[in-house]
Copies of this chain bind each other. A is one copy, B any other.
Amino acid sequence: MEVQIAVAKVNKYATPESGDTLEVVERPNGGLSVVLADGQTSGHGAKAVSLMVVRKVIGLLADGVRDGAAARAASDALFTEKKGKVTSTLNIASVDLHSETIVLTRNNPASIHIFREGKIDELAEPSSPLGTSRDIRPLITEFAIEPGLTIIIYTDGLTHAGKRRGQPMNIGEMVKIALEDQDPTPQELADLLLAHAFRLDDERPADDISVVVLKVSPRQGDDVRRMNLRLPIQVKQ
């Protein structure tokens, strides 16, 4: 089998720094984890918060700490540092080759969409961001690693898109149509969702938006791990 992970990420309009931070790290017992945090507000302050949360989590995962415990620890650290005044969402999606499962950890009011066996599910149980109080609990969902499983994770920039104009996006419906009609690559699906949000926000995103698509497929080729990354930059020179 193979796992493909695609990310599409854009800043709030006219904001040079994204409050969303995403990093991918190897797990010490095999596999990898995608860690996505969205710091409260936007710009530099939000970036510092989400970067701190992601760094805390990846440091703990590197030490072999389980995902849920890493999320709780990051929440306590944020609560202690900011006295409950600053929050951050957190999603961890782990391909855990030790347990041979996909483990989803969610501290984010935004849902997660799951496509498997031809059916869309939404993980929409109420979930608190990190740093709001002591004893924050992450929601943990675990799936066997099976071909066809597709997981769509996003920050609230996606759910808020279009709200300004009273035309919020029906993310579940869009995912359903995209996956039933075509067989998009993870990157195509992430790009499609982001492009739609972009249009609903009149090409001026009202918030940072990050979309992550993780897909398990039958092995389609060689044993090579590949990563490809595109970073648009502004240089003053």
- A177, CB-defined interface residue at 8 Å: no
For this complex, into which size category does the number of interface residues on chain A fall?
35 or more
* Among listed A83-91, A121-129, A165-173, A225-233, interface-contacting one: A225-233
Binding site for B on A (CB under 8 A): 1-11, 16-17, 21-26, 28, 30-32, 51, 55, 59, 62, 95, 97, 100, 144-145, 186-187, 190-191, 194, 219, 221-237
Copies in the complex: 2
Q: Which residues of the partner chain B approach A222 to less than 8 Å between Cβ atoms? A: 10, 232
Complex Cα gap A11–B59 (Å): 25
The contact sample of 14 A-B pairs, CB cut-off 8 A, is: A4-B228, A5-B229, A5-B231, A8-B225, A8-B226, A24-B229, A28-B51, A59-B59, A100-B236, A190-B226, A225-B232, A226-B228, A226-B229, A227-B229
Complex Cα gap A223–B203 (Å): 11
Q: Is the CB of B97 within 8 A of A233?
A: yes
- Min Cβ gap A190→B in Å is 8
Q: Which residues of the partner chain B approach A144 to less than 8 Å between Cβ atoms? A: 237
- Min Cβ gap A29→B in Å is 10
Smallest CB gap from A145: residue in B: B235
